[in-house]
Amino acid sequence: MKLKHLIVSLIVAAAIAVPAHADEGMWLLPYLQKMNIKDMKAKGLKLSAEDIYSVNNSALKDAIVIFGGGCTGEVVSSEGLLLTNHHCGYGSIQALSSVEHDYLKNGFWAMSREQELPAPGLQVRFVRHIIDVTAEMVGNVPSTAGQAEYEKITNENRTKLMKELEKKYPDMELSVKSFFGGNQYFAFVIEVFSDVRLVGTPPTSIGKFGGDTDNWMWPRHTGDFSMFRIYADKNNKPAAYSPDNVPYKPAKHLKVSLAGVEEGDYTMIMGFPGSTQRYMTSYEIDEMLKVTNPQRIYIRGERQAILKEDMQASDKIRIQYASKYASSSNYWKNSIGMSRGVEKLNVKAKKEAQEQSFQSWANANTLPEEGYIDALSKIREAVAEREEATATSQYLSEAFLRAVEFMMPALRYSNMKQIANVDVARKQAEAFFKDYSPSTDRKVTKRMLTIVRENMKTLPSFYAEEVDAKFGGDVNAYVDYLFDNSIFVDEAKTMALVENFDAEKVAADPAIPMVKSVYEMYYKAAMSTRESGAKYAEGHRKYIAGLMQQQPDKMWYSDANFTIRLTYGNVGAYDPKDGVMYKYYTTLRGVMEKEDPSNPMEFTVPARLKELYEAKDFGRYADKNGELRVGFISNNDITGGNSGSPVMNARGELIGLAFDGNWEAMSGDIAFEPELQRTISVDIRYVLFVIDKFAGAGHLVDEMTLTTK
C-alpha cells in the first residue's frame, strides 16, 4: 500500500469525528470546513469557514502575517497599519534606539507618515496559497519503506515539486512543510514585504511591564503591543525601502471591536505557532528533564546574571543588550516552567499509558513489515544512542556559540581566504559592534569557560593547548589575554581587517584556537547523531501514523511548525490550586498595585498613566463598570510564534493580542491541559487607550475600522 492512501483515509476519518476537547488543537485552515466548522459554530462563531479561509476570495487569513522571524502580526487598516506584540517588535525598536533616542525607555509615536521609522532588516510575510501536496511528496513511497528509502524518494519528489512551484509562482517565497512526522505535506506560497516602518511603541514600562517576574504568569498587566506599517511600490507590490513607496493596500484588514469580552465569549486565534511536541514519548521527556532543560536553565541563568548587572549600570549597555537578554530569558523561564509542569502534572505517566496502549494495538493488529510494532523501540533506542552527543552539543551551543559573542564573527573570518564583498562585510561588522560591549563579553567568556570546565567530561582541545599549556590553567588570565589582543573584540581592528584582509593575521589571532576547537567538537557531536536521527525519524513517523490508525474517530492535528493555524475556544477563568480562583481579566488598578520602586526595571508606572488612572480618564475604552481592562485569558491552544496573533470574537473582529501562556500549564507544548491551559492576551481597548489617551496618537485609532456591538 502506498503511503498516500493511508493518509487520505486518516484525514477522512478525522473529518467526520467529534472532538473530545475542541479547545485543544492548532488547526490547518484548508480543513476547517470538513473538521471544525460545526463545533466552532456551536461554540458561538458567527462566520462561515469561507469567511476565515478562502481559496478564491479575500478572507480573515489575508490580514495575518508572519512578523519578522518568529512572531505573528495583523493588518488593522486599509493603509497597511499593523499590530503585533511589543516583545515581537523589540529587536527593531532596540535597533532604532540610542542613548539620545531611547525608544525602549521612552516609547515612540509617529505623528505623521513622514515620522515613521524604517526598520532595517524587518520583513512581513503574507501566505497567499496553501496547497496539499501529500500525493506529490509521498504518493509513491511504499508503506513499508524504511527511513533511508523514505528520505530518498521524498527528497527527489521535493526537488521536482519545487521546480514546478517556482515556475507557477516566480515572484513568491515557497516552502514545503511536513506534518504528522512526515506523513502529510503542504506547500505555502508567500509574498514578502521588506519595507516595514515603526509607527508606535509604548515605553518599556508599559510594553514590558512585569519583566521576567511576571513572564508566563497570570494575573498579568502588560501592554504588550507595538505598531508598524507595511509599505509597497505604487503598484502595491513588495519593494525595497524607498521614500517613494506608499502604504500597502491589503486585501483584508481586521475590524477592531470596542465591545470587549465577557466570560464564556467565543474566541479564535490565527497565527504561526512555532513548535510543539504533542507526540513526544516518555523517553524524550526523560531526556528533557535530565539533560536539555537543566543545562539550558543553568547556563543561561549564569550569563543573564552578568548581562543584567551590566545593563543596570549603563544605559548604553542596557540598550545594546535589551533584545539579547529578553530573547535568552524568555526561553530560560519557559524551560523552568516546562520541567515544573511536566513533573507536577505527571505528563510522563500519561505518555507511558498511551505508549502501552499503542504497543498492544500494534502487536495485535499490524504486521512487522509495516513498522508500527517496533516504532517505539526505535525512538527509545535513538534517544539512548544520542544522549551523550546531545548533552555535548547543547552545552557547547549554550555556553560558547550562543553566549560568547565574538565567536561567530571570528569563526566566519577564520574560514575566509579573502572577503568576497567588502561592503557587506563592513555592514556586518558595524551591526555587530553597534550592540556589542567587549567588557560584558569578557565577563561572560570567563564565566562560560569556567562552568564548561566544571561540568563537561571531555573539553574542547584549546583548554589543554592554550589555557593549561600557556596560562597554567588560569581561565581568567587566558580570557584577559585574548580580549587584550584579539582582532574580533575590537571594532577598529575588525574594520581594518575588513578593509585589508589578511588570512595569515586571522590564523595567528589568539581567539582562533578556541573558536575552531569548540566548533570542531560541536560539529563532531552533531554529526555523530545522524544514524540515531534517522532511526528516531522513522520511529516518530510510524508512531504518529499508527496512533491515527489506532484511534480513527479522534480529531488529530499536527504539531506546530510555524505554519498558519487556527485555534478556537472561549474566555474563561480557572482555579490553579486549592483555594485560588483567577478571574478572566485584569484592570489598570492592578498596574498601580504592582508598582515597585525597588524594582524599576520591571515595575515602573509612567507618571502620565498615573494621571489618567487617578482621573479615571479612560474615555470610550472603559468597560460597562467604568474600569479599564488590561488583559484577559481564554482556553485557546497557542505556543511560541503565536506572539502578536490576533484574538478575534465570533464576528472575526479584533479583541486582543495573544502574548503568553500561563505558568501552571507550561507543559502544554507536550500535553494540552484543558482545565488549566490559558492564553494570556492584552485587551485591545487597553491598546487603543495607550495609543489615544496616553500617547496622544488618536489619529492612528481613527485610521482603524472600529465596531461597538
Residues recognised as catalytic: 87, 224, 643
Buried (b) or exposed (e) across 262-298, using 16+ Cβ within 10 A? eeebbbbbbbbbbebebbbbbbbbebbbebbbebbbb
Buried (b) or exposed (e) across 80-104, using 16+ Cβ within 10 A? bbbbbbbbbbbbbbbbbbeeeebbb
Which residue matches cell numbers 524504511? 146
- CA 408 distance to own-chain centroid: 22
Q: Is 8 helix (H, G, I), strand (E, B) or coil?
A: helix
Q: Is the torsion defined by CA of 89, 70, 244, 704 positive or negative? A: negative
The residues, ordered by sequence, that sit 6+ positions from 243 with a Cβ below 8 Å of its Cβ are: none
Distance CA 508, CA 499 (A): 18
The answer to whether the beta carbons of residues 646 and 269 sit under 8 Å apart is yes
The three grid cell numbers given for residue 527, joined into one nine-digit string:
554529526
- CA 697 distance to own-chain centroid: 29
- What does the DSSP 8-state code read for residue 571? B
The answer to whether the beta carbons of residues 190 and 128 sit under 8 Å apart is yes
> Phi and psi at residue 71, in whole multiples of 5°?
-135, 180
The three grid cell numbers given for residue 695, joined into one nine-digit string:
500617547
The three grid cell numbers given for residue 445, joined into one nine-digit string:
567568556
Pure H helices in 660-697: 684-689
582 burial type by CB count under 10 A (0-12 exposed, 13-18 middle, 19+ buried): middle
- CA 351 distance to own-chain centroid: 25
Distance CA 400, CA 86 (A): 29
The three grid cell numbers given for residue 584, joined into one nine-digit string:
478572566
Identity at 180, one-letter amino acid code: F
Residue 256 gets the label, from left (phi > 0), alpha (psi -120 to 50) or beta, of beta
Is the previous residue joined to 219 through a cis bond, with omega within 30 degrees of 0? yes
The answer to whether the beta carbons of residues 475 and 467 sit under 8 Å apart is yes
The three grid cell numbers given for residue 688, joined into one nine-digit string:
487603543
Which long-range contacts does 580-584 make (Cβ < 8 Å, 24+ apart)? Answer: 582/218, 582/219, 582/633, 584/261, 584/263, 584/632, 584/633, 584/634
Nearest to 396, CA basis, from 337, 315, 456, 322: 456
The three grid cell numbers given for residue 431, joined into one nine-digit string:
551591526
The answer to whether the beta carbons of residues 325 and 310 sit under 8 Å apart is no
- What does the DSSP 8-state code read for residue 375? H
580 burial type by CB count under 10 A (0-12 exposed, 13-18 middle, 19+ buried): exposed
Beta-strand runs (E) in 320-378? none
Nearest to 187, CA basis, from 239, 251, 140, 127: 127
CA angle (704, 706, 708) in 5-degree steps: 170
Identity at 487, one-letter amino acid code: I
Beta bridge partners of 268: 568, 648
Distance CA 441, CA 432 (A): 13
Q: Is 351 helix (H, G, I), strand (E, B) or coil?
A: helix
Distance CA 118, CA 92 (A): 9
